[in-house]
Structures are given as C-alpha cells and as structure tokens.
Structure 1
Amino acid sequence: MSDTTAVRPAVGWIGTGRMGLAMARRLADAGVDLAVWNRTAAKAAPLADHGADLAHSVAQLRDRDVVFTMVSTERDLEHLLLGDDGLLADPRQVPGTVVDCSTISPHASAALRTACEERGTAFLAAPVSGNAKVVEAGRLTVVASGVEDTYHETVPLLRHIGRSVTYAGEGEAARLVKIAHNLMLGIVTQAMAETAVLVEKGGVSRHAYLEFLNDSVMGSTFTRYKTPAFTTLDYTPTFTPALLRKDFDLGLAAGRSLDVPLPLTAATAQLVQACVSSGRDAEDFAVLLDLQAAASGLALTPEDAAVDDGLSGGGPAHEVRPAR
C-alpha cells in the first residue's frame, strides 16, 4: 500500500462462508472501505447492511489495495487468483497485496506467493484460529508470515479481525504454525471425548466432568467453547471432520518432510477418518464424542445443564512478535 492509502486502504474480500462472513463483517463494522465477492452471491449479501459493497465478479476487486481470501481448499485459491477470470488475470491491473487466511499447504502457498510476486502483488499468509462464533466474540487469533514490510502494512487491518496477531517470520512459516495448531485441535478433542466417555461410563455426568476440567489447569478457551456441544450433543458445524481430515493430511505430510514422528497425530487421523467414513462428515468434529461412546458401548443422551462457552467479552487486540 502506498503512503496515500495507508490510512484507509481500499480492501477486497473473497469468500464469505461461515468464517469469511464473520471476519469480513468485522472489517466493515470497523469502517474499512470494503468490497466483497463470493461465488454464491447470496452468502455475501448480508454484508451490504454493514456498509460493504457487493462485487459482481472477482475482476472488480483488482483495483483494491489489499484483497483478503478465505476459501476451503488450495485448488479454490489457485483458481481465484490465477484462473482465466482470476484476481491476477489482467497484468494491467492487480491488487497491491493478497492476504490469504485459508488453511493450505506450505508448498501450495509458496507457489501462489511466487505467482503473486511475479505479477507485482505482495502476498501475506495469514491463517486464523477460531470459528465464526469466536470471530463474533472478538477472540480470533491470527498468525502471519511473509515479507516483514508487507506484514507491517497490513497488520492494522488484521487487528480489526483478530484479538491477537503473531508474526511468524518470512515465507510460509504461518502455514506450518496453523497446521500444527489444527493437529492439536483434533488431538485435544479426541482426548476430551475419551475422558468424557470414561467418566460417564463410571457414573459421572459429562457436564460435571467438563466443569471441573475447565476450571482446572487443564482447561482452556477451546475446552470451554467445545463444552456445550459435548453436553447437549448439538453438532451444528463450526468445523467439519472433512476439513479436519484435510489438515491432518497436511500435518502428516509435514511430519514426513521434516522427519518428525507424529504418533498421536497418526492415531487421531484414523479416528477423524472414521467420522468421515461413517457419513458424519458434515457435522461438527465434536462428533468424535459419539464415535468414542459407540466404541465403548455407551449410549449418549443430551444433558440439560447450564454451561458456559467462555466466549463472552473479547479484550483488546495485541500483537505477538517472535523472540529475537
């Protein structure tokens, strides 16, 4: 971004699924000059009520200073950037910077970074941690990597989206951080499922166990906001087993590439695969609880208990820098 646009850059947004919609809304509500596009236009339409302009094509975003992307797969991202009608298809007009918040492989990210830079567009990898409800509560966290000057230029926008922004370094460092994070996500959820089933089969309610867990040194933001799903068995999706399987595939590939054994990851990957294979790939990945119960001969029923998801408030944004 140039000095003349640094105060209020023109921003584009591509991808308004559950996460993308919530993230783009935070930019719009912060007064950012925002234009949005989504393949299914109706999913972007609610942002008009928040002051965003609705683009009718990706091409309409080519003149933006910064364009954010939030899509499901690296193939989708490649098509949106490099396809015949993509963001970078016209060499006469390209955006200043692409900030990609998707979860994709480091290899694909590096290839797209090169393609952007060859066309005169900076590229920042900025995957996020959280779901749409976390975004709305102001608790999203962001990890970014790329050229440090590009990071400094875009971090004011990232702070509108996330409670904290961590700069991980050059290149694709943020991709590896996000992949490792999502491995932890699946492993912790499976650990919650196993232990919750263990205590329930021993006669203790799930909500009592989770209340104790959440208030102990083992409790976390994540265990708290997964507690309602585990208690009520409401598996309305925030993140699906199919998407988690993709991230486990990326994590296991990274382990092979870096010669790091990942035994817990490998075991959990099979359980995530079991969720997909059982036909429950469109529900929330908390269905790991149901599969664990079935394997243990336990029939689960919803528990009528008041539980706190821990997402009230949000706190100010802060930035985390790597140790020098």
Structure 2
Amino acid sequence: MTEIGWIGAGRMGAAMAGRLLDAGRAVRVWNRTRAKAEALVPRGATVAGEVTDLGGCDVVFVMVSTSDDLREVLARLYSGENLPGTVVDCSTVSAEASARARAESAARGVGFVAAPVSGNPHVVAAGGASLVASGDRESFDRVRPLLETIGQTAVYAGPGEVSRLVKVCHNLYLGMMVESLVEVVTLAEKGGVDRAAFLEFLNGTVLASEWVRRRTPDLVERDWRPTFTTELLRKDFDLGLGAARTHEVPMPVASLVHQLIQAAIGQGHRDDDFLALYEVQAANAGLRDQR
C-alpha cells in the first residue's frame, strides 16, 4: 500500500491517523476544517485540498460523526476521476447508512469495510483501541494490518453491517454502566462518604475496571472536558434503541438512561464529557453545590 487517505481529523480521527503516521505510513488527510488536518503535518501527514484528492489512494479511512456526514463525504470522494481501492469507515453510524454506503461503493468497484472503534482519543493514542469489522472477508484481510496498527485488536465479526450492531451495543452498555456508577457515587456522597474515598474503595474490588480507574480523577474533580460528548452518546443511544425496535428486543434500562442523557443535554452539558451524567444525578439528589 503506497498511500493511505484519511477523511476526518477530529479528536478520534487525528489520534487514529497519528497511529499510522507514527508507524511510518504515508497518510494524506482531508478535514472540513483544514487546520485540524494541518496539525498532523509535523507527524508526517500531507494535507489534501479536496476530498477527491484522496481518490488515488489504495485505502481511504473515514472517521466522521454522523450518518449524514458519511453520506456527504463519500459522495464527494466518488465524484472524482480516481477512486480508492477500499474504503474503511470507522464512524459510528446506523446499519442502514452503512448498507447504503456499501452498495454505493460496490457499484463503483470499491471495497467497503465497516470498522467502528472502541476507545477515546487518549486510549487510541496509547494503542489501546479495539476495532470490530464487517464486510467481505477479502477486503478485511487486505486492511487488517492497518487496523492492527491503529488498535490492539481488530476482530472480524462477519459480513454486511454486523459490526455496526456490535459497536452500538458496546456504547449502550457504556452509557448504562456510567449511569449506574454515578448513581452509586451520588448515594454514597449524600450519605456523607467522600467521593474520592468511595471510588478508591470501588477500584480495589472485583467490580473495578480499568476504564473506571482511569476516569476516577475526572469524576472526583468534576472535570468534564470531553473525551466523548453527551451529544454523541445520545446519538448512539438513538441508534441502539432503533436497532432494538427493529429486532423486537426490550431495553428498559437503556430507555431510561436515554432520558437521563437527554436531561444532561437539556441542562447545558451537550458538549461536556458524558461523565457529566453525574451532574443530573447530583442535582436530583440535592448535591448540585457540593464538591
């Protein structure tokens, strides 16, 4: 593979592309806000002026926020004279949007791999991300070395869009887990237990996880600088609950958490880290002014 194209240099996209650059890969980056792509130049990236400039690349990665964004950038990519060999979409989008993108790619002779990623930008930068992929096995095998450069694991889940469901289920669980965490933290705190002491105890038990340990300082200090925003979590819950309706699966806990995410956004935490769910729980418990 001579050159890799990259669409989307936000927090996650920049971290993922940076893994390829640090491994010595040639990466040409396009981003709607050019300055974000230019930030990768010191690490060896080149900047594409237009999406169509990536058409000559063997593989083009896409890391955007929404299904509409995916549709828009692929339409622009495929409007050029040259087309890539394979597109790898790492965004978290609906299965329907992914299927449309796959069909549009196939009609042009372009391979399409859906490969959403688990991990925030800090985890990705440290090499701890996990990717789950779906599509035809040949296309996956072609790009697998790149996926394994970006993350610690790259799991092939099967054909079609099954990786989208895997990722949505992952993010549903993440949201439910965080809501459970902030509820018990708030209960302990209102009962007179220091927040830091409770979390120190919890992190030494069989219920501990590396993710909670890593995020404990943020929760203790109420530091909501975003790794993954409340708005993006709401988008994933919308996708997950839509999948649950399609498959006729009841999701009572996820449905309630969806409303609490909505409450956090309504209270001004749209662009905050989703750990700001604590603020909703603390306010409901009368702890808003406690540090």
TM-score scaled by length of structure 1: 0.88
CA deviation digits over 1:224-251, x for unaligned, max 9? 2221211110100111111111110111
Which residue number in structure 2 is paired with residue 175 of structure 1?
164
Measure, in 2, the Cα distance between the counterparts of 1:159 and 1:214. Answer: 30
Q: 1:87 aligns with which of 69, 77, 91?
A: 77
Q: Which runs of 5+ in 1 are unaligned?
A: 303-324
The one-letter amino acid of 1:88's match is Y
Which residue number in structure 2 is paired with residue 282 of structure 1?
271
Q: 1:223 aligns with which of 212, 216, 222?
A: 212
Residue 301 of structure 1 deviates from its aligned partner by 4.2
CA deviation digits over 1:145-195, x for unaligned, max 9? 111111111010011110111111111011000000000111011001000
Give RMSD over aligned pairs.
Answer: 1.1
Q: Runs in 1 of length 4+ with deviation above 2 angstroms?
A: 299-302
Report how many residues are paired. Answer: 291
Measure, in 1, the Cα distance between the counterparts of 2:239 and 2:273. Answer: 20
Identify which of structures 1 and 2 has the higher relative contact order when contacts are C-alpha pairs closer than 8 Å and 6+ apart.
Answer: 1
The one-letter amino acid of 1:73's match is T
Q: Which runs of 5+ in 2 are unaligned?
A: none
Which residue number in structure 2 is paired with residue 45 of structure 1?
38
Residue 211 of structure 1 deviates from its aligned partner by 1.8
CA deviation digits over 1:29-77, x for unaligned, max 9? 1001110010101011121111111111111100000000000111011
Which residue number in structure 2 is paired with residue 268 of structure 1?
257
Task: Provide the identity percentage.
Answer: 50
Measure, in 1, the Cα distance between the counterparts of 2:109 and 2:268. Answer: 44
Q: Which moved more, 1:137-146 or 1:292-301?
A: 292-301
Report the 3-state secondary structure (helix = DSSP H, G, I; strand = E; otherwise coil) of the residue aligned with 2:112.
strand
Measure, in 2, the Cα distance between the counterparts of 1:34 and 1:260. Answer: 42
- Is residue 162 of structure 1 aligned with residue 151 of structure 2? yes
User: Which structure is higher in helix share?
Assistant: 2
The one-letter amino acid of 1:253's match is G
TM-score scaled by length of structure 2: 0.98
Measure, in 2, the Cα distance between the counterparts of 1:251 and 1:261. Answer: 11
Measure, in 1, the Cα distance between the counterparts of 2:88 and 2:288. Answer: 45
CA 1:300–1:255 in structure 2 vs 1: closer, same or farther (change >3 Å)?
Answer: same
The one-letter amino acid of 1:30's match is A
Residue 215 of structure 1 deviates from its aligned partner by 2.4
Q: 2:139 aligns with which of 131, 150, 169?
A: 150
- Is residue 212 of structure 1 aligned with residue 201 of structure 2? yes
Measure, in 2, the Cα distance between the counterparts of 1:116 and 1:256. Answer: 28
